Amino acid sequence: MNYEEEMVLVRKEMKALMIEFNQIVKFKSLRASRDSSARDELFITANKFAKKYHELQSKYMDLLFLSDLEETLGEEKASLFLKFKMSRNAKNN
């Protein structure tokens, strides 16, 4: 598996998300400084973006770990670990 390509795509998503968030904050911050309901709305929006960013960051770190694992132990062991992780996630959800 080519983890580097996937990592590049995730990083692009992370950057695009931050650009989008920056634009929303610029647009809504002036109104939020005067209106408490707009401030609450901006806070909710910020939390949504933070959650999306955290999910992408977590995915990036998983890819980085798997890349290092594959490099160190080989593709077969990395694949085995990935299957184990996916089975654990299925049990936890």
CB contact set of 28 (below 8 Å; sequence gap of 6+) = 38, 41, 42, 45
Q: How many residues in the chain?
A: 93
Q: Does position 91 have pLDDT exceeding 70, yes or no?
A: no
For 68-90, write each residue's pLDDT tens digit. Answer: 888 888 888 778 877 877 787 76
Q: pTM, whole model, 2 decimals?
A: 0.77
| 8 Å CB contact between 57 and 10 | no
What number is the average pLDDT over the span 45-67? 93
78 CB-contact burial (10 Å; exposed 0-12 / middle 13-18 / buried 19+):
buried
Range of the domain at 75: 3-92
Number of domains in the chain: 1
Tell me what pLDDT residue 70 has.
Answer: 86
Tell me what pLDDT residue 92 has.
Answer: 61
For 20-40, write each residue's pLDDT tens digit. Answer: 999 988 888 878 888 888 889
| 8 Å CB contact between 45 and 24 | yes
